[in-house]
Amino acid sequence: MTGAPLPDALLFAAETAPSLFRRIVGAAGHPSRLVPILIARLTGRRVRAATALTALTGAHHRLRWPGPVPPAEPDASLARHGIERIEPMADGTVRIAPAGTPLVLLAGPGHTLVDGAAEAIAAAFADPSIHALYGDALVRIRPGGPWLPLLRPAFDPDFLRAVDWLGPVLALRRASAAAIEPVPGAAASDIALDLAARLGPRALRHLPRLLSFSALPAEGGGEGARAETRRARLKAVRRDLDRRGEGDTLAFVEPDGVIRLERPLPVPRPLVSLIVPTRDRLDLLRPCIESLRARTDWPAKDILICDNGSREPETLAYFDELRAAGAARILDCAGPFDFAAINNRAAHAARGTLLAFVNNDVEAERPDWLERMVREALRPEIGAVGARLIDGEGRIQHGGIVLGTGGLATHGHRHFSGDAPGYLSGLRATRSVAAVTAACLVIETRKFGEVGGFDPTFAVDFNDLDLCLRLNAAGLRTLYVGGARLHHRESASRRPSPQAAARHAEEIAALEKRWGPLLAQDPHYHPGFDPDLSTHIRLRRGWTGLAPAAPRSAVTAPDGARRPAPSRSRT
């Protein structure tokens, strides 16, 4: 390990992945699940075997760069392509003169450009709408250790305010950046946030290829240097909030280095309708409802239970108990299970300014989960808001939905430890995602109605994915809030059947027909990762990092099998 602590965006690198042998030994206590994995492996279905083993033993990053570091870019290449390299001064100050080459490359000391980077940067800036460009990098966190790939997402100001995942290498149009006097110690992120506020997020683009490599210093300033960096980041975030007219938003650094924003809330607090579908299963429902009552500190709650034909006396008695206490309303939703129709009906009956869709197998862990989600859902530009969900084994069940992985889509960081920071600390941050699961989804009632609610085409699966994509198409971003933590015993109340399998296949076909091109690649997830496993585990085989990885052209996995739905809505 280095003398200096890891930067906050690299905390995931401190996790050690167990060997394949240790994972198999650990799985030996589950022979009924291990034997099919071994059979799949021996019969050539390697992706299926790897996916099942991950689900059994847990997910870990296995991101060691497989080959040598690419050759360095000759110094003369930058000037030849009209680029001037600028490094911060000793105190972290960056100054960009108004006169000079058309392009400027901001780069920290010790960051070496990869051969071909200058040409790739210059070619990208042929697009006049681009004002800033960043790529990917390799970093060595200890002398002689392996190289670690830092693969970045499409530009996301929410994510950048929370975590500095951007790094110090940033290419800029001189005319766009010369007037900026960035915060010392956080120059790249400050400049990026300034440009995004003035010119829009689309002015900053990600080039999905390696542009640089560097090694962390063997010695550093320790925790003092980390604290100084966090103070600089916080100052840059406060400046960004001020320029956006959000000066009344609180911003502070949490112990894990993530910057948390608390936007002001209306007074009195808006009513939130918590919608919980169920059919009996009091063993799930009671812990869910009691956690909403006792471990959810939002003061204005309207709990609405959608009863899909409960018959057990214990369940009916619990309903009576809730009614008598004025703790919940019970909405009769008898008939075949149809998640979309049930929740749409409940939304019409809801009294709240916001809707919180909560599965009956979800339990609140931290009492501030709803407040954290509501603060984001009330933003005019935000549609659906999702949470970090932890499964019964203490592992990540949901960290946002990622498109183009696992055969179709999957939950981000699925099966990683529930306390893991996530790649680039993405599990702990508030950030944009393609979609979130309806197992715990908060949205303003008005926005839900404007896009028509859940589409009945997707009666059981993919209704949440489709909803988020329609919201995104309407200009409303989807957010994942890593600080909102709940437990989710996914699939606890569903039973497989041939009819369910046939319905699932029909819904897959409908999803592909409507959203096919978008399902090939998620802008918030780097195409250099292996698309056939749970996310952020390993790199795509054969990808050199020197050219963008092609998105997958189909949603069928190499083994010929469809992957499970990423976001099953259960009762």
Domain of 225 in residue numbering reads as 75-249
Copy the structure tokens of residue 417.
């430890």
Residues 163 and 295 in one domain: no
How confident is the prediction along the chain (571 residues), in pLDDT tens digits per residue? 445 678 999 999 988 777 777 777 777 777 777 788 888 888 878 777 878 878 888 899 989 999 899 999 998 999 999 999 999 998 999 999 999 999 999 999 999 999 999 999 999 999 999 999 999 999 999 888 899 999 999 999 999 999 999 988 999 999 999 999 999 999 999 999 999 999 999 999 999 999 999 998 765 667 888 999 999 999 999 999 999 999 999 999 999 999 999 999 999 999 999 999 999 999 999 999 999 999 999 999 999 999 999 999 999 999 999 999 999 999 999 999 999 999 999 999 999 999 999 999 999 999 999 999 999 999 999 999 999 999 999 999 999 999 998 778 999 999 999 999 999 999 999 999 999 999 999 999 999 999 999 999 999 999 999 999 999 999 999 999 999 999 998 654 456 678 778 888 999 999 999 998 889 889 999 999 998 888 999 999 889 999 877 766 544 444 544 444 444 444 4
Which residue among 515, 537, 552 closes a domain?
515
213 within domain boundaries: yes
Torsion of CA 20, 26, 28, 33, to 10 degrees: -80
Residues in the chain: 571
Residues 51 and 86 in one domain: no
Domain CATH code at residue 280: 3.90.550.10
Check if the beta carbon of residue 281 is closer than 8 Å to that of residue 249.
Answer: no
pLDDT attached to residue 4: 62
Which residue matches tokens 């069940």?
Answer: 397
148 within domain boundaries: yes
Residues 345 and 473 in one domain: yes
Check if the beta carbon of residue 356 is closer than 8 Å to that of residue 275.
Answer: yes
523 within domain boundaries: no
Q: What's the 3-state SS for 147-171? A: EEEECCCCCCHHHHHHCCCCCCCEE
Residues 320 and 390 in one domain: yes
336: alpha, beta or left, given left = phi > 0 and alpha = psi -120 to 50?
A: beta
Residues 335 and 218 in one domain: no
Query: What span, in angstroms and rounded, lies between the C-alpha atoms of 415 and 53?
Result: 10
Residues 89 and 221 in one domain: yes
Residues 371 and 470 in one domain: yes
Check if the beta carbon of residue 461 is closer than 8 Å to that of residue 507.
Answer: yes
543 within domain boundaries: no
Residues 279 and 362 in one domain: yes
How many structural domains is the chain composed of? 3
- Read off the pTM: 0.94
298 within domain boundaries: yes
7 within domain boundaries: no
555 within domain boundaries: no
Residues 81 and 182 in one domain: yes
Which residue among 479, 497, 515 closes a domain?
515
Residues 47 and 79 in one domain: no
Which residue among 249, 284, 310 closes a domain?
249
pLDDT attached to residue 563: 46
Query: What span, in angstroms and rounded, lies between the C-alpha atoms of 269 and 371?
Result: 10
Residues 131 and 195 in one domain: yes
pLDDT attached to residue 509: 93
205 within domain boundaries: yes
Residues 95 and 31 in one domain: no
Check if the beta carbon of residue 103 is closer than 8 Å to that of residue 172.
Answer: yes
pLDDT attached to residue 132: 98
Q: Where are the beta strands (DSSP E) in 257-338?
A: 259-262, 272-278, 301-307, 329-332
Check if the beta carbon of residue 277 is closer than 8 Å to that of residue 250.
Answer: no
